[in-house]
Amino acid sequence: MQRLEKFYEGKAKVLYSTDDPDLVIQYFKDEATAFDGKKKGIIEAKGILNNKISSRIFKYLESKGVKTHFVEMPSEREMVVKRLRIVPIEVVVRNIAAGSLSKRMGVEEGTPLKETILELYYKSDALGDPMINEYHVKAFGLAEADELRRIEAEALKVNKLLSEFFDERGIILVDFKLEFGVHKGEILLGDEVTPDGCRLWDKTTREKMDKDRFRRDLGKVEEAYREVLRKVME
């Protein structure tokens, strides 16, 4: 497969077209950002680690019946994926109160939720990805009603599967972000599933194993990502 021109560059990845119009190469960078890009830095080897972690998780989810955009990992920083029409909605799945939810609701971080919370955000860097609900989705035509129902159902399915997957490896899945897209009429899980977009805590020590270490200047960020990779490959 031949890598052609770059057509998109985001905070963590670059997308390239290929000589197959249905396939895209997703290149993982080491750059890290937080607080809507106000904080920037480099996490050594993050792109390599995230590519390996996400590839492993996509393969696992595919084996459990979740359809994703993953095709293969041809190199340590590249992932071949199906070209998607991205649904401009980020789905955040929360199992334990942390981050912005703790602040909004005045709840101590680490408080278990009585039931899983799904939050929707409009995918727009320029607007800071504002929180929305089903009425916004309908009013602004961000997704069809059946697409949104499918996305929410898939998000809950992924949550169940990944909660069990991480629990078996001594990790608590606190919360995480998912993105979806449409490929040949099918809703597929896209983007990535990595410590950049998941809050992961050590089951025994409650030590943070995700990008919160970068956000909060806790140090040992690369070490945490490497430990996540080691555990997901078990």
Q: Which of 82, 112, 147 is the last residue of a domain?
A: 82
Q: Which of 49, 82, 115 is the last residue of a domain?
A: 82
**Which pair of structure tokens corresponds to residue 84?**
């998607």
pLDDT tens figures, 130-173: 999 999 999 999 999 999 999 999 999 999 999 999 999 999 99
Helices 46-63, 221-232: axis angle to 10 degrees equals 30
Domain total for the chain?
Answer: 2
What is the predicted pLDDT for the residue at 220? 97
What mean pLDDT is predicted for residues 210-219?
Answer: 97
Is 76 found in the same domain as 119? no
Is 183 found in the same domain as 99? yes
Is 129 found in the same domain as 67? no
| pLDDT(37) > 80 | no
Contact by Cβ (8 Å): 224, 209: yes
Contact by Cβ (8 Å): 183, 81: no
Phi, psi at 38, each rounded to 5°:
-70, -30
Is 220 found in the same domain as 150? yes
Identity of the residue numbered 163:
S
Is 41 found in the same domain as 120? no
Q: Which of 82, 101, 123 is the last residue of a domain?
A: 82
pLDDT tens figures, 99-124: 999 999 999 999 999 999 999 999 99
- Rounded Cα–Cα distance for residues 110 and 114 (Å): 13
What mean pLDDT is predicted for residues 20-36?
Answer: 95
Is 75 found in the same domain as 99? no
Cβ atoms within 10 Å of 168's Cβ, excluding its own: 11
Q: Considering only CA atoms, which of 206, 139, 150 is closest in space to residue 178?
A: 150
Is 199 found in the same domain as 125? yes
Is 97 found in the same domain as 75? no
Q: What is the CATH number of the domain that holds 40?
A: 3.30.200.20
Is 68 found in the same domain as 110? no
Q: Which residues, in sequence order, are CB contacts of 167 under 8 Å at separation 6+?
A: 173, 203
Q: What is the CATH number of the domain that holds 125?
A: 3.30.470.20
Q: Which residues, in sequence order, are CB contacts of 119 under 8 Å at separation 6+?
A: 91, 92, 94, 131
| pLDDT(1) > 90 | no
Is-above-0.85 flag for pTM? Answer: yes
What is the predicted pLDDT for the residue at 199? 98
| pLDDT(29) > 80 | yes
What mean pLDDT is predicted for residues 49-56?
Answer: 98
Is 78 found in the same domain as 90? no
What is the predicted pLDDT for the residue at 212? 97
What mean pLDDT is predicted for residues 189-196?
Answer: 98
| pLDDT(27) > 90 | yes
Residues spanned by the domain of 55 = 3-82
Is 202 found in the same domain as 141? yes
Is 98 found in the same domain as 77? no
